Amino acid sequence: MPDEPVVDPARDRLQALLIVCVLAVASLIIAFIGATPARVSATELLGETRTAGEEAFIASHRGGGATAPENTIPAISAALAAGFDYVEVDVSLTADRQPVLMHDAKVDRTTDGHGRLATLTLAEVKELDAGSWFGEEFAGTRVPTFAEFLDVLAASGRRAIVELKGEWDAVAVETAVAEVTARNLERRVALSSFDARTLAMAGSSSTVLPRLFILRHLPEDVVRAATEAGVRGLVVDRRAILDRPEVVDELHSAGIRVVVYTLNSDTQWDEVTALGVDGIVTDDPATLSMWQQGVAGGQ
């Protein structure tokens, strides 16, 4: 028969206190995990990795610039109504650090104004005609703010890839992220940029909102670069992928998606689809969609 345990009231109280403390900490951790939204996975945002010959998702470039003035509400609305997988837009900052939809550093090409966007205030940008250059029926179309774009996107129920162009500071990035979060769009919007610093600031502003790294050229260890940047995918120049087609499988093995820009011919679509890329950014999403349907029907 074992010896009777020696009763030590002080030790028992200490053990009981330790157990209570451990349980309390565990409860806090569980509560924190439960209250913190999970980070958006690559699969949730961009779908399963594609295989060679499989249909890639379509992203309508510059908001759908083939049918209406690029990066304007008419173009975006048409692309969203057409049902393409993603609408891709460019967001730049005005002189007073307000985000608006604009691709070029200067406003000359797509408005009736002149000069660099970074030297114009939001009030001045709002006076510009961003539609007449494309067609008389779009005369008077304005440059939309980022908030106006997000309102249209939220109502559509669809997704967007938002490129942050130019130089962004922490406050501007935080403001943009806050606009996305305020509309509960963290799981429907991906922020993209050529600038790793901008993406890092976005990651600091939100642990949920997914990011995509845009690359013209691939670093030697592209998987490591993408992993260290904490991105869900790469948006890559077609030529870089064709020069190193093996990186598609390497990135897929690491859970990273591959999106290729900006492809507008069936020859280009065929080249990258054969490699199993996950997405294609195009100025002509309608024709790409028909091409994909034709290829699928012929298989």
pLDDT recorded at residue 8: 58
pLDDT recorded at residue 295: 87
pLDDT recorded at residue 14: 53
Q: What are phi and psi of 213, to 5 degrees?
A: -95, 125
pLDDT recorded at residue 11: 53
pLDDT, one tens digit for every residue, the chain (299 residues):
444 444 455 554 555 444 344 334 433 443 443 445 788 999 998 999 999 999 999 999 999 999 999 999 999 999 999 999 999 999 999 999 999 999 999 999 999 999 999 999 999 999 999 999 999 999 999 999 999 999 999 999 999 999 999 999 999 999 999 999 999 999 999 999 999 999 999 999 999 999 999 999 999 999 999 999 999 999 999 999 999 999 999 999 999 999 999 999 999 999 999 999 999 999 999 999 999 999 876 66
Q: Per-residue b/e over 235-270, b at no fewer than 16 CB within 10 Å?
A: bbbbebbeeeeebbeebbeeebbbbbbbbbeeebbe
Neighbours of 229 (CB within 10 A): 17
Query: What is the 3-class SS of the chain, one letter each residue?
Result: CCCCCCCCHHHHHHHHHHHHHHHHHHHHHHHHHHHCCCCCCHHHHHCCCCCCCCCCEEEEHHHCCCCCCCCCHHHHHHHHHHCCCEEEEEEEECCCCCEEECCCCECCCCCCCCCEHHHCCHHHHCCCCCCCCCCHHHCCCCCCEHHHHHHHHHHHCCEEEEEECCCCCHHHHHHHHHHHHHCCCCCCEEEEECCHHHHHHHHHHCCCCCEEEEECCCCCCHHHHHHHHCCCEEEEEHHHHHHCCHHHHHHHHCCCEEEEECCCCHHHHHHHHCCCCCEEEECCHHHHHHHHHHHHHHC
pLDDT recorded at residue 298: 65
Q: Residue with structure tokens 């109280």?
A: 13
- Give me the residue spans of the domains in the chain: 42-298
Amino acid at 109: R
Among 99, 96, 86, residue whose Cα is nearest residue 60 = 86
- Does domain 42-298 correspond to CATH entry 3.90.1150.10? no
pLDDT recorded at residue 5: 42
Amino acid at 194: F
